[in-house]
Amino acid sequence: MYPRVEINLEGILHNLHILRSKCEEQGSSLSLVTKVLGGRRQLVKYITEISGITSICDSRVYNLAYFYELDVEKWLIRSPMISEAETVVKYADVSLNSELKVIEALNETAIKHNKKHKIVLMCECGDLREGCYEEELLQIIEKCRTMDGIEIYGIGTNLSCLNEVLPSEENMAEFVRLVEKAEECYGSEFRYISGGASSSIPMLFSGKLDKKINHLRFGEAVFLGNIPVYDKPFENAEINNFILQAEVIELKEKPASPEIPRDDCTNLRKRAIVAVGKQDIDIKGLSVLDERIEIVAGSSDHVVLDVTNCGDEINVGSIISFRMNYNCLLNAMTSPYIKEHIV
């Protein structure tokens, strides 16, 4: 059944082993960001059990609900909505937070259910997505000290996801300074200093990540072997863990552009249409494994390919294979029209 994503579990485990070993060498722990798996419980169960990973992160609390019975710590890494406080307290062991009103809602819910909800307070270190500046961070900590349903589990930051601000010795030093201020305010050290995601790999591998940082959240690097923003694999990474396969539904010779008349035989190209489109994937994130094939364009349900250089190898019913970048893979794995096939 096509379109489908072929998943290479051995390659995923290979990348995870490399990254986990490197974290352990530096005195850090690793949480696996599972959002690209779209709530597929059996995949997450297999990967965590085989690898020994004890902590997973997801941006959707309803994905964490699918993992409810898995014996791993579950982090919600998109800041919770007030309206989902009940669900967050029920299904997430830990959530990343930067707004006092949300924390207050989590506190009320946790008290109601006789629970203690763990939070990681997020610092703004330059990427301008979620996170507090110093004054607000310390104010929130003071408020949290009076909350019976909240435990400050750690301090975190996020870089590279919005404005592609890379982790550096300078902004990581600022992050560590904020952590030390926060610990001084709180009166004790926090369990987790969560210093970033896959874009932190170059600093991790070079040993330049501050020793105070003891936790990293990795998704793209594990699943695709890719370092975000740098857009290159880390050393010995397996990059072909997710391959999109789509079936050819039309194969015809057509003009190279709408302006060229059909009877101009010198400008005819052999074009194939595959049955997948913008409703399922980010076409800009596709690349064809066969370098002789060029992506021409796409619409909601179609991707048009130039297969002129393939001779007679492509036919109606042929299967074309594509690599996907992380955003494209996220779309594919959450589309109800694309199935997965475990290699």
Chain centroid, CA 73 distance in Å: 17
Measuring CA to CA, how many Å separate 274 from each of 152, 179, 256, 317, 337?
50, 51, 18, 9, 14
Task: Select which of 35, 74, 118, 212 is catalytic.
Answer: 35
CA-to-CA distance for 243 and 343, rounded, in angstroms?
10
- Name the H helices within the chain: 9-25, 41-51, 61-66, 85-91, 100-112, 134-144, 169-186, 201-206, 220-224, 326-334
- CB 224 within 8 Å of CB 289: no
Other Cβ atoms within 10 Å of 237 Cβ, number: 20
Which SS3 state, helix, strand or coil, does residue 138 take? helix
Does the active-site annotation cover 270?
no
Using CA atoms in the order 210, 140, 144, 82, what is the torsion angle rounded to 10 degrees? -110
Which SS3 state, helix, strand or coil, does residue 215 take? strand
Chain centroid, CA 67 distance in Å: 17
Instruction: Label residues 251-260 b or e (16+ Cβ within 10 Å = b).
Output: beebbeeeee
CA-to-CA distance for 121 and 18, rounded, in angstroms?
28
For 340, residues 6+ apart whose C-beta sits below 8 A from its C-beta are 4, 5, 6, 7, 40, 333
Give the β-pairing of 232-233 and 226-227: antiparallel
| Residue numbers annotated as active site | 35
